[in-house]
Chain A
Amino acid sequence: MIGLLGRRIAGLAAFLWDFVVGDDWMAAAGIAVVLALGAALAHLARVDSWWLLPAGVAGVFAGSVRRAVRPARAVPPPR
């Protein structure tokens, strides 16, 4: 019974992870970092960092696309 419940919870957690984070967890983490930096600048340093968000999101996006394309470059050419 507990094993079944554990599997169900693990299945739900895996589904939610895939639903929200998808196949690039670094992009999701990058978004969290950008928002946290924006909040820190606005509330701690009193800097209106509106420019940080689009720049940060663009950086996260570029990194995500780059990671999706890059691995294939490591594939050795056929002999």
Chain B
Amino acid sequence: MNGFALVITTFLASGVEAVEALTIVLAAGLTRGWRSALTGVAAAAAILAVLVAALGPALSAVPLSALRVVVGGLLLAFGLQWLRKAVLRAGGAKALHDEDAIFARELAAAQAAARAGEGIDWYGFTLAFKGVLLEGLEVVFIVLTFGANAHRMPLAVVGAAAAVVATVAAGAVLHRPLARVPENTTKFVVGLMLTTFGTFWGGEGVGVHWPGSDAALPALLAFFAVCAALATAATRRAVATGTRPITQAAA
């Protein structure tokens, strides 16, 4: 697998999740104190690091064809979920993910929660911990599967780490959620890439021989991009009939 494609995929996927985690951590830090929020971030990061350290070598020991079937299937499940959400949002059937609105909601909930004396504020800790752990799990999964399949774990880690560092740096400078990140476009691209690699690896795992070997990847990407564009157009038409209400955005 092309190293550049590997880094870009893990960078974009990790970037989307990091932006979502940053929104929650900022809400926790600004309302409940930075000590509790950052302790929650550190605890979640430690658990994620243990998962990578434990599962990374274990994945390398699994036979490649079995690994590719499982990973291909999981990437497809993830990729199609991301792509479907992106298509529904682009087609107007689902509200766009609004980091400002999520930030305001988390901020209000954190301000309303009771505060218990001195020391660590457990509400702030839990809010930041859960946010980083849940968003981080997807990053860990993508880094591990892409790294193990391509036998290039360091490159996958570099892509993810660069995204997290860039997001944290932007958050530290701005002290507000990164609302201007074109999240749906990024999610669209990542959904396409996960679906493409999931199909490719899943196929190799079940014994398919792709015409042109790795050269099939751009063709698969183009094919799924056309499918997604058609699905977006069909969704727009369904919304335009006026019977499809816009539902609230989920993560």
Contacts and interface: CB of A to CB of B under 8 A. Distances in A.
Interface of A: 19-24, 27-28, 31-32, 35, 38-39, 42-43, 48-50, 52-54, 57-58, 60-62, 64-65, 68-69, 72-73, 75, 77
Contacts of B167: none
Interface residues of B, number: 43
Interface string B223-239: 11001100100110010
Interface in B191-222: 195, 198-199, 202-203, 205-211, 216, 220
Contacts of B238: 69, 72-73
Given A20-B78, A27-B84, A72-B245, 9 more contacts: A19-B138, A24-B81, A31-B202, A38-B206, A38-B208, A49-B208, A61-B224, A62-B231, A65-B88
Contacts of B150: none
Interface in B79-132: 80-81, 83-84, 87-88, 91, 93
Chain A, interface SS category = helix
A56 B220 CA distance: 13
